[in-house]
Amino acid sequence: MNIKTQALSGGFQEPVFHSQGVFRMLMDGMARPGTVHTIAMDIGQPEPLGQAAGAIALTLCDHDTPTWLSAGLLKSPAAEWIGFHTGAPITREKAESRFAFVEAGVAPSSFGLFAAGTQEYPDRSTTLVIEIGALGQGQALTLKGPGIQQTTTVKLKGLPEVFPRLWADNRALFPRGVDVILTAGKSLLCLPRTTQIAVQ
Amino acid sequence: MTELATYNFAYLDEQTKRMIRRAILKAIAIPGYQVPFASREMPMPYGWGTGGVQVTASIIGPEDVLKVIDQGADDTTNAVSIRAFFQKVANVAVTTHTKDATIIQTRHRIPEQQLEKGQVLVYQVPIPEPLRFLEPRETETRKMHALEEYGLMHVKLYEDIARHGRISTTYAYPVKVAGRYVMDPSPTPKFDNPKMHMSEALQLFGAGREKRIYAVPPYTDVVSLDFEDYPFEIQKFEQPCALCGAQGVYLDEVVLDDKGGRMFVCSDTDHCEDRREHGHAGEMLAPAKEAAE
Amino acid sequence: MYVAVKGGEAAINNAHRLLADRRRGDRSLPSVTIEQIVEQLGLAVDRVMAEASLYDRTLAALAVRQSRGDLIEAIFLLRAYRTTLPRFGTSVPVDTAGMTVERRVSATYKDLPGGQLLGPTFDYTHRLLDPSLLSDEPIEEPARKSASGEHVMRVSDILAHEGLIEADGEFPEDNEAGDLTREPLEFPMGRDLRLQALARGDEGFLLALGYSTQRGYGRNHPFVGEVRIGEVEVELEVAELGFAISLGRIRVTECQMVNQFKGSSKAPPQFTRGYGLVFGQSERKAMSMSLVDRALRAEELGEDVTAPAQDEEFVISHSDNVQATGFVEHLKLPHYVDFQAELALVRKMRADIEKTRRDGNHNPDQEAAE
């Protein structure tokens, strides 16, 4: 498939019901940080965009959500795929992005340049969708905070080493801050800004 | 003649649903904070649940089972009307049984039966700002939330005590969520406040006219504001439900005649019916045969 | 023994059936047609279009008929329909200087290019009930004259010539006008959003506020520069074509209020403006809107904000009649759960007081708290 047709193919087969289904996973995921959800439907997203990450874009992005892409995604057909299927303007300014997608193996140096919202409007912040190696295996982390009864343990493979430190910085900004969705292929897991992370 | 458009699943167009869904996710991420959203004009009046309806319409899917209550009852006219709306525009399954519902939209009550994991409680909210009656300006109250400056609220509650010997707020009793935001629980009686604390269900709040959405995730601290020497306390009823005999539930007062005759019955109709089906009876319960007529 | 009342659904259905019956009224009379409403109750149709923000005479007339002539209900019906319509784009700003004018009056100049044109106005009709309208007597054709072709110059342009009036103001090149039906409200607002809110605001509310400024609550020395009513072209820029195409013509009413202004630390002495533009023919609304628009510019022009009409958050938060009627009328919904809580509290407080009285002395706890 050439780049053009790759960008134009795929998407949700039943946009109304599939986006509702994916949204409910995200809503449950944000309400219960650390729970792993799996996107079953094939959406034909181009590499290196993962299936879950692509489904999140289809569900939440549109004309009103400037979207930032990491370098690898930006120069891949994924950029055009997101643009075509969602209508989201691709921005190079992290600070004006409502969503940011990061491909696997790239460690963000900081969350600082993304929108953290303001003290009056902390909701005006970026949601980062970060692809990692796998959910359910790898390094064990303990999560704590709203949505979690006492504590929960998650296992993450390929999480950038710097992540726990960046997350602690992000926590310190509360109520401002970014929210993160970790994806690995078909799976996703949410980390709202309220979640505290401890490395086991 | 102009042709009228047909409506999307659950009435709202997809762009609107996405906008509301994004607001809901941010609301969950910042418990108790009121997210502004571009509330739409709904085919029902403002003040009658347009916020709750927009939230429900944005989350509901074909697999859901919906329950709608007003004043705790499934058969009050506004609850009937909203339930019929979703049956019409989303062809969704409905129930009156709290435990069978995946989404419960409510006005003024939290069901007596403890909610479970996976259930979503959607509140209809008239005035989302807990500080509004102390400070009418949005520009001011927004600053107070930003600075976590809630002294005004404590002053109000304390003045109550000074004047009346107790806190005289009986419903829409302010709470602090996850130790940060002071939140209006909507005009539920303060009797229901403890049910919000560490609930297993996700709680979403929609205020259509005021264009705000907020949320309390499951397992989240929800603390009613009080003072050490005047601790928060809920209403207590002196008698059990006259129909099912339940104690420790919220009761409606029903006037029986013009001579001061009255009785108290469960405000949560499903809870009351369920108890009666299980053989519980209050002193005013009609024999089964008579009641069926 | 007690059996709870049920049957909300049947009650609702029966109520709606009765409503439909009352709407139709006496069946021996012919039903009023949509065309009749459009043609003969045109100003009601205009008000519904204006406050619903949807220009469609047929649908507005349908709403008037469906609402039994309750115009706020009709506005509500049309708005709830409007909200489901897809957006194709934003039109080019309408050029009211190019209006095909049917009425145009200026209070500031005796004569001016384009002339004074009374048009179809109630002004100078003696308000005597007309018995001839009890029956359907023939009405003579209006007098006509051929268009002079003279440019109906705007009064603001005449004053601008001398530099005596503030300019229109500029938006940046890529500015997109806001839309409060698609964005959450935030204060302070831009003037674009404020004018949108006023254009769809309740005529009666704006009339009262405008009136209050004349009586000294935020006085701003207004003169009607001009009021004009007529048709304007609505055009849409099509990116693929590179030029604007016409979508059709709409009737609008525009009011330019010219306000004397002595100057402040923020602006030099000059005439300032209040602006009103509404769908259809509604001079009262356009004039009220321009008075309130000017009042709401107090802060921008360095004036003291002292009166209700100058208070943006107050005015805009309460100008929408669909919101207002919904919230006022929601009080008739059941509130018995909350009322029960209040009942219990009042009973308890009264019992406390009686006990105190019986005991014949003060409650020491209460005294300590005071």
pLDDT tens track for C197-206: 999 999 999 9
Q: Which member of A15, A24, A32 has the closest CB to residue B14?
A: A15
Of the listed B32, B51, B52, B208, which one is catalytic? B32
Interface of A with B (CB under 8 A): 15-17, 19-21, 23-24, 26-28, 30-32, 59-65, 98, 118-123, 125, 127, 146-149, 174-175, 179, 192-194
B97 vs B94, B113, B242, B274, B277, CA distance in Å? Answer: 9, 10, 21, 8, 12
* Structure confidence at residue C156 (pLDDT): 86
Distance CA C55, CA C199 (A): 13
| Phi, psi dihedral angles at A141 (to 5 degrees) | -130, 145
* Structure confidence at residue A2 (pLDDT): 63
Q: Which residue has the higher pLDDT, A157 or C370?
A: A157
Q: Where are the domains of chain B?
A: 14-128+175-224, 236-285
* Structure confidence at residue C160 (pLDDT): 86
Distance CA C362, CA C356 (A): 6
Are B174 and B153 spatial neighbours (Cβ–Cβ below 8 Å)?
A: yes
Cβ within 8 Å of B, C 313-352: 313, 317, 322-323, 325-330, 333-338, 340-345, 349, 352
Distance CA C319, CA A30 (A): 37
Which residues of chain A have a pLDDT value below 70? 1-4
* Structure confidence at residue B274 (pLDDT): 96
Say whether C166 sits in a helix, a strand or coil: coil
Whether CATH 3.40.50.11310 fits B14-128+175-224: yes
Q: Is B118 a catalytic residue?
A: no
Tell me if ipTM is over 0.90: yes
Distance CA B67, CA B270 (A): 10
* Structure confidence at residue C273 (pLDDT): 93
Is B115 an 8 Å CB contact of chain A?
no
* Structure confidence at residue B4 (pLDDT): 64
> Span C168-172, mean pLDDT?
78
* Structure confidence at residue A101 (pLDDT): 98
> Span B24-39, mean pLDDT?
97
DSSP C307: S
Strands lying side by side in the sheet with B93-94: B35-36, B212-216, B202-207, B120-124, B103-107, B65-70, B93-94
Task: Cis check for the bond before A48: say yes or no (omega within 30 of 0).
Answer: yes
Q: Which residue has the higher pLDDT, C301 or C369?
A: C301
Q: Which member of A61, A98, A149 has the closest CB to residue B219?
A: A149
Find the distance separating the first CA and the last CA of chain C, reported in whole Å: 48
- Determine what percent of chain A falls in helix, strand and coil, rounding each to the nearest 5: 30, 25, 45
Nearest Cα neighbor of B234 from B279, B293, B172, B192 is B192
Residue B19 has pLDDT above 90, yes or no: yes
Q: Which member of B42, B139, B189 has the closest CB to residue C341?
A: B189
Note whether B28 contacts A31, CB cutoff 8 Å: yes
Mean pLDDT of chain C: 90
Cα radius of gyration rounded to whole Å, chain A: 16
Residue C267 has pLDDT above 90, yes or no: no
Closest chain C CA to residue B268: C337
Rounded to whole angstroms, the maximal C-alpha distance in chain B is: 69
**Nearest CA to CA, how far is B174 from chain A (Å)?**
19
| Phi, psi dihedral angles at A134 (to 5 degrees) | -160, 150
Nearest Cα neighbor of B248 from B172, B168, B192 is B192
Find which of C337, C365, C370 to mutate to test the B interface (most B CBs within 10 Å of its CB). C337
Note whether B30 contacts A59, CB cutoff 8 Å: no
Q: Where are the domains of chain C?
A: 8-82, 96-122+150-169+179-319
Count of domains for chain A = 1
DSSP A107: P
User: Number of B:C CB contacts under 8 A?
Assistant: 165
CATH number for the domain spanning A159: value is 3.40.50.11310
Residue B259 has pLDDT above 70, yes or no: yes
Distance CA C218, CA B220 (A): 49
Lowest mean pLDDT among A158-172, B124-138, B278-292: B278-292
Closest chain A CA to residue B30: A175
Residue B36 has pLDDT above 60, yes or no: yes
- Residue C228: its H or E element: strand C222-238
> Span B191-208, mean pLDDT?
98
Note whether B46 contacts C3, CB cutoff 8 Å: no
* Structure confidence at residue C369 (pLDDT): 44
* Structure confidence at residue B288 (pLDDT): 56
* Structure confidence at residue A1 (pLDDT): 53
Is B123 an 8 Å CB contact of chain A?
no
Query: Within 13 Å and on the Cβ side, how many CA atoms surround C25?
Result: 8
Distance CA A110, CA A100 (A): 13
> Span B231-255, mean pLDDT?
93
Are C204 and C47 spatial neighbours (Cβ–Cβ below 8 Å)?
A: no
> Span C286-303, mean pLDDT?
95
Q: Is B32 a catalytic residue?
A: yes
* Structure confidence at residue B291 (pLDDT): 45
Distance CA C4, CA C333 (A): 19
Distance CA B184, CA B175 (A): 7
> Span B27-44, mean pLDDT?
96
Range of the domain at A34: 3-199
Residue C63 has pLDDT above 60, yes or no: yes
Q: Which residue has the higher pLDDT, C238 or B17?
A: B17
* Structure confidence at residue A11 (pLDDT): 93
Neighbours of C98 (CB within 10 A): 13
> Span C61-79, mean pLDDT?
97
* Structure confidence at residue A18 (pLDDT): 97
Lowest mean pLDDT among A150-164, C47-61, C139-153, C344-358: C139-153
* Structure confidence at residue B5 (pLDDT): 60
* Structure confidence at residue C370 (pLDDT): 41
Confidence of residue B164 (pLDDT cuts 50, 70, 90): confident
C77: Cβ contacts below 8 Å, ≥ 6 apart? C63, C66, C67
Q: Partners of A129 in the beta sheet?
A: A101, A181
Find the distance separating the first CA and the last CA of chain A, reported in whole Å: 45
Lowest mean pLDDT among A162-176, B162-176, B199-213, C220-234: B162-176
Mean pLDDT of chain B: 92
- Determine what percent of chain B falls in helix, strand and coil, rounding each to the nearest 5: 30, 20, 50
Q: Which member of B30, B62, B142 has the closest CB to residue A120?
A: B142
Cβ within 8 Å of C, B 87-106: none
| Phi, psi dihedral angles at C191 (to 5 degrees) | -65, -30
